[in-house]
Amino acid sequence: MKSLPRFRTVAATAWWVAIAVTSARADVLVTGQATIDFHQAAWDSLAGGASVPGFEALTLDETFDQAGAASRTGAQILADEVQASPSYTGLTYALNGAQVSNLAGRTAKPTTFQFSPDNLTSHTGVIGLGGISRWTVNPLLGGGKLVFGDFTLAYDATRLLVGGSGWHLVGNIAPAGTLFDLVNVTTGTAGNTLTISGDMVVSFEVANFLLGTPADQGKDVGNFQFAGVTAVPEPSVWALFGLGVMGVFLGGHRLRCRRG
pLDDT in tens, 197-234: 999 999 999 999 999 999 999 999 999 999 999 997 65
CB proximity list for 179: less than 8 A, separation 6 or greater: 148, 151, 169, 170, 171, 203, 205, 206
Nearest to 151 by CA among 200, 89, 218: 200
Q: What average pLDDT does the segment 180-200 reach?
A: 97
Average pLDDT over the chain, rounded to whole? 87
pTM for this prediction: 0.82
Q: What is the pLDDT of residue 171?
A: 98
Q: What is the pLDDT of residue 20?
A: 46
Decide which of 4 and 53 is more confident.
53
CB neighbours of residue 187 within 10 Å: 15
| CB of 37 closer than 8 Å to CB of 222 | yes
Q: Using the 8-state DSSP alphabet, how is residue 173 labeled?
A: S
Q: What is the pLDDT of residue 6?
A: 53
Q: What is the pLDDT of residue 16?
A: 46
Q: What average pLDDT does the segment 162-184 reach?
A: 96
pLDDT digits (tens, 9 = 90+) for 3-48: 545 545 544 444 444 444 444 558 999 999 999 999 999 999 999 9
- Residue 248 in this model has a pLDDT that exceeds 60: no
